[in-house]
Amino acid sequence: MKKNLNSIFKAAFIALSIFSAAFISSCSDDNDTPSIPTKGTLLGNIQTFDDKLIITNDAGGVTITASNLTGQTFTATADNTGRYTFNDLPYDSYQFEISKSGYGTLKVFGISHVYVKDVISTVVQNIPFGKNSTTTVTGLTFSEFLLNGEVGVSFDYNLSPVPTSSNKAFVRYFLGPFADVSNTKFTARSEVLSFSSLSANTGFTKEKLLEMGFTAGQTVYVRMYGDSFISNNWEDPTSGVEVFPNINPTTVAAVSFVVPN
């Protein structure tokens, strides 16, 4: 009987020892589990252009300000190759504000910086950054209710400097049903247009005007501005307003016309 009890105690002691070792090992594993990092490196590249779509390699000194949803801001400066780096940047969603003297301030939204196992850093896609427009609109008048043989409206215009095939001018139209239409107050706008001379026919077909939301018989005002091919335009995610930072503000008064019937 005593021998049997000793065997039972011995077996119980061994079982308890195994359980204790397993418990201690489990606790040790929990304590040794690495915590998920809260910060990491984010890097990218800025490619600069003049207002004519020529690469300038002028990125040195471009400032990139990153703002997250909690209002924190972090700043990096691009080197001469355009490379910038944020070290120990908290993981979050960011808005970039990119600026340099002579360039229109660009904003980029929805930059995602998240922890990914075995990934060293977040790499942001290359960002093109253009200079302010050097094209000045010096004249704009209504021409006729035709555009390249189609019903619409066309304009005569003057630009400075006079565009050539080797020094094109880039412009943009802004339209609205109000006389004070501008690059900050408009209901429709064109894409960037390029001219290599002052002889190009320019304007809008009736179909395009209707597509923009105007109606036949409606009085519309239009204004032309010099712009850059890389225009740094961005849309405010809250208001939905589109901003055109590279516009040359020197221009002429708006011209009115009636949408053809």
Find the range with the poorest average confidence among 21-30, 40-49, 199-208, 244-253. Answer: 21-30
Which pTM does this prediction carry? 0.84
* Predicted confidence (pLDDT) per residue in 56-113, tens digit: 999 999 999 999 988 999 999 999 999 999 999 999 999 999 999 999 999 999 999 9
Residue 53, phi-psi category: left (phi > 0), alpha (psi -120 to 50), beta (remainder):
left
pLDDT for the residue numbered 199 = 93
**Tokens representing residue 105 in the block:** 């301030």
pLDDT for the residue numbered 33 = 66
Entry field: residues in the chain: 261
pLDDT for the residue numbered 241 = 93
The band of 31, judged by pLDDT with boundaries at 50, 70 and 90, is: low
**Percentage helix, strand, coil for the chain under 3-state DSSP, each rounded to 5:** 15, 45, 45
The burial class, CB within 10 Å (0-12 / 13-18 / 19+), for 251 is buried
pLDDT for the residue numbered 13 = 38
pLDDT for the residue numbered 69 = 87
Domains in the chain: ranges and CATH: 39-130 (2.60.40.1120), 136-258 (2.60.40)
Other C-beta atoms closer than 10 Å to the C-beta of 96 total: 20
The band of 2, judged by pLDDT with boundaries at 50, 70 and 90, is: very low
